[in-house]
Amino acid sequence: MARTRKYSSGKLVLEDFSVHEISEHLCDSDCVIWLDLCRPSMEDLHDISVEFGLHPLAVEDAAHEHQRPKLDHYGTHLFLSAYGVSLEVSTGRLVTSEIAVFVLDRALITVRKNEGFDIEAVVKRWDDSGDLAVNGVAFLLYGLLDVVVDDYFAVVQELDDSIEKLEELLFDDRHQQVQAVQRRCFEVRKSVVLLRRVVLPMREVVNTLMRRDLHVSSEAMTPYYQDVYDHVLRATEWTESLRDLVSSILETNITIQGNRMNLIMKKVTSWAAIIAVPTAITGFYGQNLPYPGFGKEWGLATSSGLIVGIAGLLYYAFRRWDWL
């Protein structure tokens, strides 16, 4: 699956033409080409590398998954690895979609490892900012990064909402809710850690792209790249705060469970003390030896009174101490 676009003199002039026609279009010195490949084969990548003179190591990174977000500088082009993210609200699981980008002087090549990344959102961003197309590859790369970073903000907001719901369930005494909080906490924590691994390196990537010696960002596009960099910083800080907040929730949950266990132990101990009173008295009066009240009615009344009185006194004391 391949998509193509041709910009000339800052205007979109052609779309969805054959990959084999790229060489002809590059003869136009004013044109900028965008090529998007989804799940390409090694043969496809080899053909593209020959066409554009891509470095073999960059092509290898584009072919294999689970690359770290990074920016590599080669002689004729840059290679950028990034991730689009989304969140499954029902489970709190973070879904990542890897994308590799080749940045050339007059072409931008995107290689999607799967169909999870919404490339249509990138195309729409380009169309909505058509007045910036005169900046060529810098404009195309900005639109792509802007969509990627916006996804970070959307996911962070959803994670923040999930954590707020966890806080509401944290002090719910129902057993089912306790289990749900524990399970959801670990899932959200896992998603936050994974999101941090994706977002944190992008700070250095965007910062490097703004370097003048790379000649990626023109003077007109520098404010837009600075805006993306600012958003990456905010997303990074927000992710760090979420990680700390999830850790606090887990610690609070453990503390609450410990307090509940102590309360249960106090109740069990209190009832055991109350039950021990009639056991001790009836055991004493069950002796086969003469004692005060032996064989007398007032002896039965005395033992019954002792049981009720001492048990009642203990119950009152435990209730006052908040043990029952």
The two tokens of residue 75 are 């002689």
Closest alpha carbon to 1 in 119, 84, 102: 119
pLDDT > 80? residue 11: yes
CB atoms within 10 A of CB 65: 10
Tell me the average pLDDT across 269-288. 78
User: For the chain, what is the mean pLDDT?
Assistant: 86
Give the model's confidence band at 174: pLDDT under 50 very low, under 70 low, under 90 confident, else very high.
low
Tell me the average pLDDT across 200-208. 93
Angle at 65 between CA 61 and CA 67, to 5 degrees: 60
**pLDDT at position 188, please?**
87
The two tokens of residue 251 are 């610690």
Angle at 125 between CA 1 and CA 201, to 5 degrees: 80
Distances (CA, A) of 308 to 115, 279, 285, 298, 299: 75, 12, 15, 15, 14
Tell me the average pLDDT across 250-279. 81
**pLDDT at position 288, please?**
61
The dihedral over CA atoms of 268, 274, 280, 283, expressed in degrees to the nearest 10, equals -90
The C-alpha atoms of residue 101 and residue 95 are separated, in whole angstroms, by: 20
**pLDDT at position 180, please?**
72
Is the Cβ–Cβ distance between 228 and 149 less than 8 Å?
Answer: yes
Which comes out higher in pLDDT, residue 207 or 168?
Answer: 207
The C-alpha atoms of residue 48 and residue 212 are separated, in whole angstroms, by: 28
Q: Which amino acid is residue 257, in one-letter code?
A: Q
The C-alpha atoms of residue 184 and residue 161 are separated, in whole angstroms, by: 13
The C-alpha atoms of residue 315 and residue 278 are separated, in whole angstroms, by: 13
Give the model's confidence band at 294: pLDDT under 50 very low, under 70 low, under 90 confident, else very high.
low
Q: Which residues on neighbouring strands pair with residue 15, listed in sequence order?
A: 5
Q: State phi, psi for 52 to the nearest 5 degrees.
A: -105, 0
Spell out the domain ranges in the chain: 2-257, 266-320
- Number of alpha carbons in the 13 Å side-chain half-sphere of residue 112: 21
Which comes out higher in pLDDT, residue 144 or 312?
Answer: 144
pLDDT > 80? residue 25: yes
Kindly report, residue by residue over 66-111, the tens digit of the pLDDT: 889 999 999 889 999 999 999 987 778 899 999 999 999 999 999 9
Look at the chain and count its residues: 324
**pLDDT at position 178, please?**
65
Q: Which amino acid is residue 129, in one-letter code?
A: S
User: Which architecture characterizes domain 2-257 according to CATH?
Assistant: 2-Layer Sandwich (3.30)
Is the Cβ–Cβ distance between 71 and 209 less than 8 Å?
Answer: yes
pLDDT > 60? residue 113: yes
pLDDT > 60? residue 289: no
Q: State phi, psi for 298 to the nearest 5 degrees.
A: -70, -20
Q: Which residues on neighbouring strands pair with residue 73, listed in sequence order?
A: 78
